[in-house]
Amino acid sequence: MNIGLIGSGGREHALCQKIYESKLVKRIFCLPGNAGTSKLATNLDVDILNFKSVFKIIKNYKIDVVVIGPEEPLVKGLVNYLNKKKVKVFGPNKYAAKLEGSKAFMKKLCKEHKIPTANFQVCINKKQILSFLNKNKLPIVVKADGLAAGKGVTICKSKKRVLDISKEIFKGKFRSSRRVVLEEFLSGEEASYFLIVDKYNFKFFGTAQDHKRVGENDKGLNTGGMGAYSPAPIISKKIEKKIINKIVKPTLNALKKKNNPYKGFLYVGLMIKNGEPFLIEYNVRMGDPECQVILPRLKNDIMKVILNSINDNLKRTKINWKIGKCMTIVLCSKGYPKSYKKNIIIKNLKRIKLDKNSFLFHAGTRLKNQNIYAVGGRVLNFTVIGDNFHKIRKKIIYFIKVLNWGNGFFRKDIGWKIIKK
């Protein structure tokens, strides 16, 4: 069968690699893909939010199944659109995607179903902000309700900052929504738990820990993710049971009751405090760069698993994992997550000799006249699988040094919580 894969990041290159290995797949079309996917698939340049253009490509290239990587087309209803056109598509519908698309929706659902999460208030005016400030201690977390490309969350240590940030959101800084969600600050250790879900069942799809801050020792601005590893040792069997019973099952049941059962990958973002999981966020997709450390550990034919989700047949699917550990470090353009130069050539890629346990997933790259250029903030994901995180990280850093890309920077301390010096 022919697959259409939507997206252009490191997550999509990792998905593309797995789909490429599937025995069921004849051709892959990436919409729009990156320089990495162009070696495995046909890249087709298209605006993925222009659903009509996407559908045209699906018809022209005889695409049988569509896999959606990023959140925006999901939140905007691409699944509903394609279902109406009788196209097989993997991912949640527009209603279910509100778990990520609206923090207010997600928090209200948590409250209704007693799902452990930070205490919160959805605010539409200054009066409500002041009322929450009066009842809660600093720091307070201010969130834009709608999608904000990872820039919608600020942890505020003063009341003034809460008011300033909220004002910007009320004024429409993020076009997706003018509502503000205020939350109490939760301390603890963050971890991510993944599932693949169909109408009736769900299956475990790995754990990971991301590093969101741009600088070493978790300092500096938030980013999309500077590196990750899997599995996340903090998620013990005991904590996993709590995640399933207190968070996942009530959420999936709530969506079923609304006649919009969840389908697709589900990313459960957690804060673990004294052995108790609290829901920080849901993402309605795989994480990026978490996907890049989970998929290399997957033994199954990924298209078989995806088709079983589409056809509500997950019950009979057994998902098998390699025993090994996996880490990825993201090589970024200097300046990221603020402004950075684009269209900088990346030489020396041929110098990197990958073996069967190492992968180089592209993110913001483009192929032009046989050369590879950096066109994004997060550029390359160096990924290694092995049995010791310390050795894995050394091998990754070695690869990055061999590349020696002048416009790049990366965090050398990915995995600091689990690699003891």
Tell me which DSSP letter residue 248 carries. I
Which of 96-120 are b and which e, b meaning 16 or more Cβ less than 10 Å from the residue's Cβ?
A: bbbbbbbbbbbbebbeeeebbbbeb
Helix (H/G/I), strand (E/B), else coil: 65: strand
Number of residues that bind ligand AMP (CB under 6 A): 12
The first and second tokens of residue 192, run together, are 């991510």
225 binds, among ligand GLY, ligand AMP, none (CB under 5 to 8 A by kind): ligand GLY
CB of 183 to ligand GLY, least distance (A): 17
| Cα-Cα end-to-end distance for the chain | 49
Q: What does 240 bind: ligand GLY, ligand AMP, none (CB cut-off 5 to 8 Å by kind)? A: none
Determine the interface stretch with ligand GLY among 197-205, 282-290, 319-327, 361-369 (rule: CB under 6 A): 282-290
Give the tokens for residue 133: 């400030």
Select the binding partner of residue 263 from ligand GLY, ligand AMP, none (C-beta < 5 to 8 A, by kind).
none
Asked if 258 contacts 177 with a C-beta cutoff of 8 angstroms, the reply is: no
Q: What Rg value do the Cα atoms of the chain yield, rounded?
A: 21
User: Does 280 participate in binding ligand AMP (rule CB under 6 A)?
Assistant: yes
For 353, list phi and psi in degrees, rounded to 5: -100, 95
Angle between helices 126-135 and 159-170 (to 10 degrees): 150
Decide: is 212 part of the binding site for ligand AMP (CB under 6 A): yes
Return phi, psi of residue 370, to 5°. Answer: 70, 0
Candidates 10, 261, 264, 269; binder of ligand AMP (CB under 6 A) is 269
CA distance 114 to 402: 51
How far does Cα 202 stand from its chain's mean position? 18
| 283 near ligand GLY, judged by CB under 6 A | yes
Q: Distance of CA 134 to CAs 87, 108, 330, Å?
A: 51, 21, 41
Number of residues this chain uses to bind ligand GLY (CB under 6 A): 7
Q: What does 198 interact with, of ligand AMP, ligand GLY, none (CB < 5 to 8 A by kind)?
A: none
* Among positions 186, 252, 288, 362, the unique one binding ligand GLY when judged by CB under 6 A: 288
Q: Looking at 28, 141, 291, 295, which residue binds ligand AMP (CB under 6 A)?
A: 141
190 binds, among ligand AMP, ligand GLY, none (CB under 5 to 8 A by kind): ligand AMP
The dihedral built from the CA positions of residue 230, 236, 240 and 246, taken in this order, carries a sign that is negative
Residue 235 binds which of ligand GLY, ligand AMP, none (CB < 5-8 A, kind-dependent): none
Site string for ligand AMP, 171-210 (x = CB under 6 A): ------------x-xx---x--------------------
Binding track, positions 173-212, relative to ligand GLY; x by CB under 6 A: -------------------------------------x--
C-alpha count within 13 angstroms, C-beta hemisphere, residue 78: 27
Where along the sequence are the contacts to ligand AMP (CB under 6 A)? 118, 141, 143, 153, 183, 185-186, 190, 212, 269, 280-281
Binding site for ligand GLY (CB under 6 A): 210, 224-225, 283, 287-288, 290
